[in-house]
Amino acid sequence: MMHNRKIAEIFNEIADMIELEDEKRIFEVRAYQKAAMTLESMQEDVGDILEKKGIGGLMAIPGIGKGLADKIKEYVETGNISKHEELKKKFPIDFAGLTRIQGMGPKRIFKLYKTLGVRNVTDLKKAAEAGKVKGLGGFGKKSEEVIQKGIRMLESGKGRMLLGNALPEAESIIAKLSSSGLADRVELAGSARRMKETVGDLDILVISETPGKMMDFATGLPEVKEILLKGLTKTTVMLKIGITCDIRVLDKASFAAALQYFIGNKDHNVKVRQIAIKKGYKLSEYGLFNKKGKNIARDGDGDIYEKLGLQYMEPEMRENRGEVELAAEQKIPRLVQKEDILGDLHVHSIYSDGDNTIAEMAEKAAGMGREYIGITDHSRSEYVAKGMDEKKFKKYSREIDAVNEAMDGRIRLLKSAETDILKDGSLDFSRKALDSMDYVLGAIHSNLGMDKAAMTKRLITCIEGGVVDIMAHPTGRLINQRPPINLDLDKIFDAANKQGVVMEIDSYPNRLDLNDENILKAREYKLKFSIDTDSHRTEHLGLMRYGVSTAKRGWLQKDDVINALPYEKLLGMFKK
Ligand code: DGT
Ligand code: CA
Ligand code: CA
pLDDT tens readout for residues 436-449: 999 999 999 999 99
The pLDDT, as a whole number, for residue 109 is 86
Lowest mean pLDDT among 115-129, 265-279, 463-477: 115-129
CA 29 to ligand 1 center in whole angstroms: 20
Query: Does the residue 132 lie in any domain?
Result: no
* 345, 458: one domain: yes
* 209, 254: one domain: yes
DSSP 12-41: HHHHHHHHHH-TT-HHHHHHHHHHHHHHHH
Residue with CA nearest ligand 1 atom 16: 262
Q: How confident is the model at residue 466 (pLDDT cuts 50, 70, 90)?
A: very high
Three-class HEC string of 112-159: HHHHHCCCCHHHHHHHHHCCCCCCCCCCCHHHHHHHHHHHHHHHHCCC
Looking at 64, 91, 118, the residue that finishes a domain is 91
What's the mean pLDDT in 405-418? 98
* 86, 230: one domain: no
The pLDDT, as a whole number, for residue 157 is 54
Residue with CA nearest ligand 1 atom 28: 266
Residue with CA nearest ligand 1 atom 21: 266
The pLDDT, as a whole number, for residue 563 is 98
The pLDDT, as a whole number, for residue 93 is 87
| CATH (domain of 539) | 3.20.20.140
Looking at 45, 61, 91, the residue that finishes a domain is 91
Number of domains composing the chain: 3
pLDDT tens readout for residues 187-227: 999 999 999 999 999 999 999 999 999 999 999 999 999 99
Closest ligand, as measured to the CA of 274: 1
Query: Does the residue 145 lie in any domain?
Result: no
Query: Does the residue 117 lie in any domain?
Result: no
Angle 66-78/26-41 helices, nearest 10 degrees? Answer: 60
CA 68 to ligand 3 center in whole angstroms: 28
CA 159 to ligand 1 center in whole angstroms: 16
CA 236 to ligand 3 center in whole angstroms: 9
Neighbours of 232 (CB within 10 A): 12
| CATH (domain of 309) | 3.30.460.10
The pLDDT, as a whole number, for residue 574 is 97
CA 202 to ligand 3 center in whole angstroms: 6
Q: How confident is the model at residue 94 (pLDDT cuts 50, 70, 90)?
A: confident
Give the ligand 1 atom nearest the CA of 190. Answer: 8
What is the rounded CA–CA span in Å between residue 467 and residue 425? 11
Looking at 60, 91, 122, the residue that finishes a domain is 91
The pLDDT, as a whole number, for residue 96 is 67
* 452, 305: one domain: no
Q: Which of 95, 229, 269 to mutate to test the pocket of ligand 1 (most atoms within 8 A of CB)?
A: 269
Angle 2-21/46-59 helices, nearest 10 degrees? Answer: 50
Query: Does the residue 101 lie in any domain?
Result: no
CA 262 to ligand 1 center in whole angstroms: 6
* 288, 389: one domain: no
Query: Are the C-beta atoms of 207 and 248 separated by less than 8 Å?
Result: no
Query: Does the residue 490 lie in any domain?
Result: yes
* 354, 485: one domain: yes
CA 98 to ligand 3 center in whole angstroms: 15
What is the rounded CA–CA span in Å between residue 226 and residue 188? 21
Give the ligand 1 atom nearest the CA of 270. Answer: 29
**Model confidence at 1: pLDDT above 80:** no
What's the mean pLDDT in 513-528? 98
What's the mean pLDDT in 543-570? 98
Give the ligand 1 atom nearest the CA of 193. Answer: 8
Query: Does the residue 121 lie in any domain?
Result: no
The residue that leads in pLDDT, 127 or 414, is 414
* 292, 423: one domain: no
* 407, 484: one domain: yes
The pLDDT, as a whole number, for residue 167 is 97
* 324, 343: one domain: no
* 369, 324: one domain: no
Q: How confident is the model at residue 7 (pLDDT cuts 50, 70, 90)?
A: very high
Give the ligand 1 atom nearest the CA of 268. Answer: 29
User: What are the backbone angles phi and psi of residue 244, rounded to the nearest 5°?
Assistant: -90, 160
Query: Does the residue 496 lie in any domain?
Result: yes
DSSP 424-476: TS-BSS-HHHHHTSSS-EEE--S-TT--HHHHHHHHHHHHHTT---EESSTT-
The pLDDT, as a whole number, for residue 153 is 66
pLDDT tens readout for residues 45-83: 899 999 999 999 999 998 899 999 999 999 999 989 999
* 292, 166: one domain: yes
Closest ligand, as measured to the CA of 229: 3
Residue with CA nearest ligand 1 atom 9: 190
Ligand 1 neighbours (beta carbon < 6 A): 190-191, 199-201, 203, 261-262, 264-266, 269-270
Please give the mean pLDDT across all residues of the chain.
Answer: 93
Give the domain extent around 409: 338-575
| CATH (domain of 66) | 1.10.150.110
Distances (CA, A) of 540 to 287, 341, 480: 41, 15, 20
CA 201 to ligand 2 center in whole angstroms: 4
Query: Does the residue 150 lie in any domain?
Result: no
pTM of the model: 0.78
* 323, 424: one domain: no
